[in-house]
Amino acid sequence: MQAATEQVAVAPAAAPAPARPAKPRAGMMRQYDLVEKVRSYNPDTNEDLLNRAYVYAMKAHGAQTRASGDPYFSHPLEVAAILTDLKLDDATIVAALLHDTIEDTEATRAEIDQVFGHEIGALVEGLTKLKRLELVSREAKQAENLRKLLLAIADDVRVLLIKLADRLHNMRTLEFVPPASRRRIAEETLDIYAPLAGRMGMQEMREELEDLSFRSIDPEAYAVVKQRLDALAERNRNLIGEIESQLHKNLQKNGVVAHVYGRRKKPFSIWTKMERKSVGFEQLSDIFGFRVVLDSVEACYHALGVVHTTWPVVPGRFKDYISTPKQNDYRSIHTTVIGPGNQRVELQIRTEEMDRIAEFGIAAHAFYKDGVGSPTELLKRESNAFAWLRHTIGMLSESANPEEFLEHTKLELFHDQVFCFTPRGKLIALPRHANVIDFAYAVHTDVGNSAVGCKINGKFAPLSSELANGDEVEVLTSEAQSAPPSAWETLAVTGRARAAIRRATRTAVRDQYAGLGRRIIERLFARAKIDYADDKLKGALARLARTSIEEVMASVGRGELKASDVARAMYPDYKEERVARYGLKKGLADKLKQAQPHHPSRSSAVIPVGGTGKADLPIKFAPNGGAVPGDRIVGIITPGEGITIYPIQAPALKDFEDEPERWLDVRWDIDETTPQRFPARIRVDNVNEPGSLAQVATVIAEHDGNIDNISMYRRSPDFTELTIDLEVYDLKHLSAIIAQLRAKAVVARVERVNG
């Protein structure tokens, strides 16, 4: 996140006392102006507190100036002025005046607490960036500062109001910032702060932040749209007045007292709609909207009846946010009719209280009044928007890294919504384009993790199905699925769902590593003929610098910790046995080859290979030659990767003879009713003559083998060496192919290759 003030000081920061304050610029709010403005809505304001804060901040910033050349103190003063327009309490106004002192001057949190009290000190601290971040990227620093800000907002909502006012004033004076920084600040505002204001129901501030950002990011597009809007407003000036008049008269004739006024949409709203719908300016029919403000909910529905019985309704353009409010507490009835002059007229019908909340959101609550308790406690009781924010912050704070946190925050902030229902009638609000996976995680994380199917409006549908307003969604779950497929992360739209899927995937991977680590440790202990017990390991955790048994197991599984180190931590007298490297035929592989041969179905080994059973760890075949049913096989555990299957005659096994804890007995688990192919490699010395390669390929194809890859090496003018990777059903199948190849006149020699 950028500085609370982007227009950095160009003169050195000064201590509060000695610095000489810069002269106030003409037109800058004076001390008594600020006090009078607060007293106009709060007669019980603490004038002494406001005066002390004004003087302290002015002295603290001293001779600092902004990039515009104005005294730096003009910025916190303008931020405070914006907040007085929202009629906020004394502590918020004072914190606004002081919000840059800890960050940009020599003032400290302890000093702020001492002079102004802990409450104001906490607000200022919440607005102060983290310093000296040990992070490698700008995005990581931005995310960590945003995380700090959001956590402060969860404790006290006034931090958010000050931050938004701070950002608004910076955006109003953005033309003085260098172009490179200007674009970055505008993009951050459009990505984070404008949507955050919208989520808190502060539509007026959101629209201004969006327009200011749009003007900086794409000034040409902004100028074109604004010019077209101004020209359209001039042409339709009489029509707008006529519509207002007719609406007012029709409502009054039917006994409805209402305030009706027209309002044109902002350039950014017009531009995004043109891009979203891929239409030109001339094709937009709802550039002007009309608000009908009444004194009660009953009057709203009466007015709706009058409008719908007077003019034809445009189908599909009716939304009732009074009976089903948005998550940001927005309430209003939206409808579109064909009004006077056959013009499409978009109407918003609401009460005065709804209108105030629609404009100012959470700031519409009178925080300055006595007896309401703390603003945060007040909003906990009365605001769905703040409840959403606190819940989202709690969920986002679990993100694994700063970039992931920033991504999820941006996903959660966009407010276009669809409303869906559970079979029991619970309302679930989701972003537009959300699917059933998002719905499942919105119901509960456990529902999302165990989801295996769904019904939408009673019909079976894929989990990736996009949801529409009013859909009833039933999520089908299974206890057999404890973790979601990791691929769901790319399908999910909401940050909540993506975070939960990533968390479940990390947990599953950790459990997999822990299982691998436990297997390695238990095999080492069994070979060393010493006892293993979790209780014994628990007592050795401190020596291993780990906090839990699972962490030890996962560390061994990932290769971060050796099993022998665990044994030494538990048994200090343990001596690691090393196996001498005598070559393959004198080592472990030789001993395994001497074991009694057995039929695959009668094996009593540990890990099943090749069947439908699900192994605990990923299984793959040796990279150079593979293995096929009928081979005597052995598994080699590779921390962080899983198990690699080698035929016992593979020369590569000699590389693992001094790591006996990595060796596993494995068995084939083949279902004869569903044949599977397995990888093998052969080397063929082929006579150089036309059609010889085709003869080799024909033999393999006629015997139902499948060629994956062929490489050729010209050994001499008469012979070419072919290395062929193919897939066969078992050792008998492979042997039959080799025998048929040897019978061909163009083949001088055939042998199987083992890695």
104 part of the active site: yes
Q: What is the CATH number of the domain that holds 234?
A: 3.30.460.10
Q: Is residue 559 situated within a structural domain?
A: yes
Per-residue model confidence (pLDDT) at position 391: 64
Q: Is residue 266 situated within a structural domain?
A: yes
Asked if residue 269 and residue 213 are part of one domain, the reply reads no
Radius of gyration from C-alpha coordinates of the chain: 36
Asked if residue 153 and residue 90 are part of one domain, the reply reads yes
- 715-741 residues labelled b (16+ CB within 10 A) or e (exposed): eeeebbbbebbbbbbbbebbeebbebb
Asked if residue 282 and residue 135 are part of one domain, the reply reads no
What is the spatial distance between Cα 84 and Cα 72, in angstroms, rounded to a whole number? Answer: 20
Q: Which of 36, 103, 155, 244 is catalytic?
A: 103
Strand partners, 635: 645, 664
Asked if residue 488 and residue 435 are part of one domain, the reply reads yes
Domain boundary among 217, 251, 274: 217
103 part of the active site: yes
Q: Is residue 377 situated within a structural domain?
A: no
The DSSP letter of residue 9 is: -
Task: Give the count of alpha carbons within 13 A of 279, CB side only.
Answer: 12
Q: Which of 123, 147, 118 is nearest to 133 (CA)?
A: 147
> Which residue's entry shows tokens 């409303």?
419
Asked if residue 524 and residue 486 are part of one domain, the reply reads no
In the chain, how many domains are there?
6
Strand partners, 643: 619, 637
Per-residue model confidence (pLDDT) at position 454: 92
For residue 274, give both structure tokens: 């043109």
For each successive 10 residues of the chain (755 residues), what is the average pLDDT?
39 40 56 88 90 91 85 91 89 92 89 92 80 50 68 77 91 87 88 83 89 91 86 77 85 89 83 74 72 92 91 87 84 87 84 88 68 61 65 58 58 61 82 88 90 91 88 89 83 84 83 82 84 86 86 82 86 66 39 40 45 60 87 82 84 80 77 82 87 90 89 79 91 90 87 83
Crossing angle between the packed helical segments 549-558 and 495-528, to the nearest 10 degrees:
80
Q: Is residue 248 situated within a structural domain?
A: yes
Asked if residue 231 and residue 194 are part of one domain, the reply reads no
Q: Is residue 9 situated within a structural domain?
A: no
What is the spatial distance between Cα 302 and Cα 740, in angstroms, rounded to a whole number? Answer: 90
Write the burial class of residue 384 (CB in 10 Å: 0-12 exposed, 13-18 middle, 19+ buried).
Answer: middle
Q: Round to the nearest angstrom and report the end-to-end CA distance of the chain.
A: 53
Q: Is residue 15 situated within a structural domain?
A: no
DSSP assignment of 498-556 equals: HHHHHHHHHHHHHHHHHHHHHHHHHHHHHHHT----HHHHHTTHHHHT-SSHHHHHHHH
What is the spatial distance between Cα 322 and Cα 419, in angstroms, rounded to a whole number? Answer: 13
Domain boundary among 640, 668, 696: 668
Q: What is the CATH number of the domain that holds 171?
A: 1.10.3210.10
**Cβ atoms within 10 Å, residue 7:** 21
Asked if residue 173 and residue 61 are part of one domain, the reply reads yes
Which phi and psi angles does 311 have, rounded to 5°? -130, 150
**H helices then E strands: how many in the chain?**
31, 19
The DSSP letter of residue 67 is: T
What is the spatial distance between Cα 636 and Cα 179, in angstroms, rounded to a whole number? Answer: 58
Asked if residue 409 and residue 315 are part of one domain, the reply reads no
Q: Is residue 462 situated within a structural domain?
A: yes
Strand partners, 608: 667
What contacts 24+ positions apart, CB below 8 Å, involve 78-83? 78/29, 78/169, 79/162, 79/165, 79/166, 79/169, 80/34, 81/29, 81/34, 81/37, 82/165, 82/168, 82/169, 83/161, 83/162, 83/165
Which phi and psi angles does 47 have, rounded to 5°? -65, -35
Asked if residue 157 and residue 103 are part of one domain, the reply reads yes
Range of the domain at 720: 678-752
Q: Which of 19, 10, 91 is nearest to 58 (CA)?
A: 19
**Cβ atoms within 10 Å, residue 274:** 16
* H helix intervals, 601-647: none
What is the spatial distance between Cα 302 and Cα 356, in angstroms, rounded to a whole number? Answer: 21
The DSSP letter of residue 596 is: P
Report whether 82 contacts 165 (CB < 8 A): yes
Per-residue model confidence (pLDDT) at position 269: 83
Report whether 625 contacts 618 (CB < 8 A): no
Asked if residue 489 and residue 513 are part of one domain, the reply reads no
Asked if residue 532 and residue 456 are part of one domain, the reply reads no
* H helix intervals, 1-137: 31-41, 47-61, 74-85, 90-98, 101-104, 109-116, 118-126
Write the CB contacts of 84 (distance below 8 Å, at least 6 apart in sequence).
34, 37, 38, 41, 93
Angle at Cα 55 formed by Cα 51 and Cα 58, nearest 5°?
Answer: 140
Q: Which of 104, 166, 551, 730 is catalytic?
A: 104
What is the spatial distance between Cα 316 and Cα 266, in angstroms, rounded to a whole number? Answer: 23
Asked if residue 508 and residue 489 are part of one domain, the reply reads no
The DSSP letter of residue 611 is: S
What is the spatial distance between Cα 128 and Cα 145, in angstroms, rounded to a whole number? Answer: 9
Q: Is residue 535 situated within a structural domain?
A: yes
What is the spatial distance between Cα 628 and Cα 646, in angstroms, rounded to a whole number? Answer: 9
Instruction: Please name the helix (run of DSSP H) or strand (run of DSSP E) that holds residue 439, with its range, or none.
Output: helix 436-443
Per-residue model confidence (pLDDT) at position 131: 47
Domain boundary among 164, 193, 217: 217
**Cβ atoms within 10 Å, residue 579:** 12
Q: What is the CATH number of the domain that holds 724?
A: 3.30.70.260
Q: How far does CA 545 lie from the centroid of its chain?
A: 32
In SS3 terms, 221-234 reads as HHHHHHHHHHHHHH
Q: What is the CATH number of the domain that holds 394?
A: 3.10.20.30
